[in-house]
A and B are shown apart, each in its own frame.
Chain A
Amino acid sequence: MRKLMTGDHAAAYAAKLARVQVVPVYPITPQTAIVEKLSTFAANGDMQAKMIDVESEHTAMAACISASTAGARTFTATSSQGLSLMHELLFWASGSRLPIVMAEVSRALAPPWSIWADHLDVISERDTGWIQIFCESNQEVLDTILMLYRLCEMEDVMLPAMAIMDAFVLSHTMEPVQIPGQHRVDEFLPPYSPEFVLKAGTPAVFGSVAKPDTYAEFRRGIDVGMRTAAKRLVEVEEECQRKLGRSYGGLIEEYRCDGADVVLIANGSVVSTARYVVNQMRQEGKKVGLVKLRAFRPFPASELVKVIGSKSTVGVLDRSYSFGNGGALFTEVRGAAYGRAGAPRIKDYVAGIGGRDITPEVLRAVFDDLLNGPRGQSDIAWVGLKDEPLIKGIGGERDG
Chain B
Amino acid sequence: MPASTKAPIATATSKAVKTGSWRVIRPVFDLDKCSGCLTCWKFCPDVAVEIVDGRPKVNYDYCKGCGICANECPKKCVKMIRQELE
Q: Do chains A and B touch in the complex (CB under 8 A)?
A: yes
List chain A positions with a Cβ less than 8 A from chain B: 95-97, 158, 195-196, 202-208, 210, 214, 218, 221, 225
Number of A-B contacts (CB under 8 A): 39
Report which of A158, A196, A221, A225 forms a contact with B9, defined as CB distance below 8 A.
A196
Closest to B4 in A: A196
Q: Are A207 and B8 in contact (CB under 8 A)?
A: yes
With the chains together, A202 CA to B4 CA distance in Å? 14
Known: A97-B7, A207-B9, A218-B6. 7 other contacts (CB 8 A): A196-B9, A203-B11, A204-B11, A205-B9, A207-B7, A208-B9, A221-B5
Closest to B11 in A: A204
With the chains together, A204 CA to B10 CA distance in Å? 6
Q: In B3-44, which residues have CB < 8 Å from any A CB?
A: 4-11
Closest to A205 in B: B10
Q: Are A96 and B7 in contact (CB under 8 A)?
A: yes
Contacts of B1 in A (CB 8 A): 196, 202-204
List chain B positions with a Cβ less than 8 A from chain A: 1, 4-11
Supply 28 A–B pairs (Cβ within 8 Å), ascending by A: A95-B7, A95-B8, A97-B4, A97-B6, A158-B6, A195-B4, A196-B9, A202-B1, A203-B1, A203-B11, A204-B1, A204-B11, A205-B9, A205-B10, A205-B11, A206-B7, A206-B8, A207-B7, A207-B8, A208-B8, A208-B10, A210-B8, A214-B8, A218-B6, A218-B8, A221-B5, A221-B6, A225-B6
Contacts of A97 in B (CB 8 A): 4, 6-7
Q: Are B10 and A218 in contact (CB under 8 A)?
A: no
Contacts of B11 in A (CB 8 A): 203-205
CB-CB nearest 4 A-B residue pairs: A208-B10, A205-B10, A97-B7, A97-B6
With the chains together, A400 CA to B10 CA distance in Å? 58
Contacts of A207 in B (CB 8 A): 7-9
With the chains together, A112 CA to B7 CA distance in Å? 39
Most chain A CB atoms below 10 A, which of B8, B9, B10, B11:
B8
Contacts of B9 in A (CB 8 A): 196, 204-208
With the chains together, A218 CA to B1 CA distance in Å? 18
Contacts of B7 in A (CB 8 A): 95-97, 196, 206-207, 218
With the chains together, A337 CA to B5 CA distance in Å? 34
With the chains together, A205 CA to B13 CA distance in Å? 11
With the chains together, A232 CA to B74 CA distance in Å? 67
Contacts of B6 in A (CB 8 A): 97, 158, 218, 221, 225
